């Protein structure tokens, strides 16, 4: 295991109490750029949307896909730990992080095309490491083009099972644009922290500070649009009935204390596929941030599986 610490946020954005009351676009960009993965930055263009993309390291390609309301920042700890062993790539999904906003209507299909474009830009089919919404998007992409992927490591992927209609209605109301923009700051900070099972981690406050910076920015409504839109879109792309046709090897991992995606749903999906699955005690929704050393070890294990197959897609 590596004992390297995760990169810290820049001064002024380490804790929610230090986030300025108002941020213009330039100040928000500086806040969101702090603490992101170190490497060579470029741009992935998808349907006219410009998505910042970072690459680092050498070896088997690894594509990192973040979850709802997050961005490439999530993968900085993995870049620190694994860039000497793999060619890592991460990017901001369209509508999130520092990407430009879609000129036309935003939808889940745009995210699927972005993941496919990123995977196809790599020298060989990558191991995809994807979290939450990113896992849902990666599964949709792999169902469409299995030859583009070597293996999927899915951290609590969303949209696996059908959500009952009353809960759908509640979630639509909770994630409506006006609801997001009007949310009390204390609730926003609390929600950011509660996705971690271990209290007091620096990463809890760092993530809450980023969310608060967006909330206080002049661009808050623009950031809320894709966040709100994806919830309804995922309801129409339930994956449980489609997983039997998936032809890409998978590994699933979830935290036993996950309050976002039920660990039982993740375990059931893995059983349906006959795939490896791990449930980690004392871990919440983002194991890549909460237990980065253990997560890096799991990535290395998946990399060994890829290289033992020669880095090529294997039909099951």
pLDDT one-digit tens code per residue, 151-209: 999 999 998 888 889 999 999 999 999 999 999 999 999 999 999 999 889 999 999 99
For residue 312, the model assigns a pLDDT of 40
For residue 104, the model assigns a pLDDT of 67
For residue 254, the model assigns a pLDDT of 97
For residue 239, the model assigns a pLDDT of 82
Joined together, the tokens standing for residue 150 give 């070597």
- pTM for the full model? 0.92
pLDDT under 50 in the chain at which residues? 1-12, 311-316
Q: How many residues does the chain have?
A: 316
Domain spans of the chain, in order of start: 16-308
Fold that domain 16-308 belongs to in CATH: Rossmann fold (3.40.50)
Q: With left for phi above 0 and alpha for psi between -120 and 50, is residue 176 left, alpha or beta?
A: beta
pLDDT tens-place string over residues 212-222: 999 999 999 98
3-state secondary structure of 134: helix
């Amino acid at each position: 295991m590596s004992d390297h610490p995760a990169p810290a946020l820049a001064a002024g954005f380490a804790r929610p109490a230090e986030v300025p009351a108002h941020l213009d676009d330039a100040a928000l960009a500086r806040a969101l750029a702090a603490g992101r993965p170190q490497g060579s930055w470029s741009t992935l263009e998808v349907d006219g949307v410009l998505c910042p993309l970072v690459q680092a390291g050498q070896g088997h390609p690894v594509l990192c896909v973040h979850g709802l309301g997050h961005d490439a920042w999530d993968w900085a700890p993995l870049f620190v730990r694994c860039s000497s062993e793999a060619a890592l790539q991460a990017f901001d999904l369209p509508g999130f992080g520092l990407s430009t906003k879609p000129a036309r209507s935003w939808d889940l299909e745009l995210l699927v095309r972005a993941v496919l474009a990123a995977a196809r830009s790599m020298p060989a089919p990558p191991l995809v490491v994807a979290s939450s919404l990113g896992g849902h998007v990666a599964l949709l992409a792999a169902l469409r083009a299995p030859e583009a992927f070597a293996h999927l490591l899915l951290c609590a992927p969303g949209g696996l099972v059908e959500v009952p209609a009353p809960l759908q209605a509640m979630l639509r109301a909770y994630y409506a644009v006006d609801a997001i923009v009007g949310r009390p700051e204390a609730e926003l900070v609390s929600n950011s922290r509660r996705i971690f099972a271990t209290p007091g981690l620096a990463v809890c406050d760092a993530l809450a500070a980023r969310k608060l910076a967006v909330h206080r920015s002049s661009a808050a409504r623009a950031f809320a649009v894709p966040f709100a839109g994806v919830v309804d879109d995922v309801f129409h792309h339930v994956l449980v009935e489609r997983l039997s046709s998936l032809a890409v090897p998978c590994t699933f991992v979830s935290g036993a204390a996950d309050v976002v995606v039920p660990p039982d749903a993740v375990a059931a999906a893995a059983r349906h596929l006959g795939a490896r699955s791990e449930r980690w005690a004392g871990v919440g929704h983002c194991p890549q941030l909460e237990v980065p050393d253990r997560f890096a070890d799991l990535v290395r294990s998946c990399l060994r599986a890829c290289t033992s197959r020669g880095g090529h897609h294997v039909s099951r």
